[in-house]
Amino acid sequence: MESALEISKFGIIGISVLLAFVPIIAWGLHFLHKHPEKRTLVIITFIGGAISVVPLLLYKYAWQWFPWINAFDWIRNTNFDLFGINSLLLIPIPVLITFLLVGVIEEISKIYSVKLLDRNRILSVDDAIAFAIIAGLGFAFVENILYFQNILESRGFENFLFPFVFRSLFSTFAHVMFSGIFGYFYGVAHFADPIWKKKIKKERHPVLNWLHKVSHFKKTTLFHEEKILEGLIAATLLHAAFNVFLEMEWLVVIVPFLFIGYLILDNLIERKENHLNYKRLLPERTTNRE
């Protein structure tokens, strides 16, 4: 009896892994076919994105032994009010803060997946977007495996179609969108020096230029950190918004939300200036793709 149950469980895991590949391959081909990267780097980044799920899983797993580290319980047990603009758009503040925290943890984890690469392997802003998307796909892949396994074990195959389609079309793309938009800011930060000199310095707000003048930091260093922070904030807010829409079951909002995100990401990928090849950052290190 135990053996049959064990085989059944392993079978469900195997099916979950195979099905989790479907949206990953589909979205990966859609966004990356115009800008193919070296296969080895794609695999490394994808694995890094998949591994970036581990810190969050370990944190949640530790709650059973150390319940006091569960920040989500702290938030839920506070006497916060509701946030919203009318009776139809009221969001419990604990829900909002919880998903902001989740967004920060997940997006920071994915950042390090992109940083696993040799810095000089990223030759353009478009490269950074592509590798960030790959990291997001790796993260979504593991999430989908866990989600599909849970659905199959708790609801069975007869109730699996809608969750599979929803995760494949919406949730997987959501991770692509968050990561890709962050990848743009990461790419701009990565090439802070040439971008600052060629374009941004002339277009920035005078107040920001003044702050750079009175500080003791190199302007491009501040510009780099500023863009990283902007990207993290944008990805986190988008991530939190998507999770809130799911939690509040505002499904009618999710489609236009993701559609607008798709247009933004597609625009970033198509921008000619994002395809400029900046060669290498450090002259002593080679950057040629193999």
pLDDT in tens, 52-111: 888 778 877 777 787 776 766 665 665 555 544 444 455 555 666 666 777 777 888 888
| Distance of alpha carbon 201 from alpha carbon 203, whole angstroms | 6
**Residue 30 reports pLDDT greater than 80:** yes
Q: Kindly report the CA angle at 182 between 127 and 245, in degrees rounded to 5? A: 135
pLDDT in tens, 151-172: 988 888 888 899 899 999 999 9
| Distance of alpha carbon 25 from alpha carbon 39, whole angstroms | 14
Work out the average pLDDT over 218-223. Answer: 68
pLDDT in tens, 194-212: 776 666 555 555 665 565 5
pLDDT in tens, 256-277: 999 999 999 999 988 877 777 7
Direct distance between the N- and C-terminal alpha carbons of the chain, in angstroms, rounded to an integer: 53
Choice among 14-28, 77-91, 234-248 with the minimum mean pLDDT? 77-91
**Bridge partner list, 91:** 83
For residue 262, what pLDDT is reported? 94
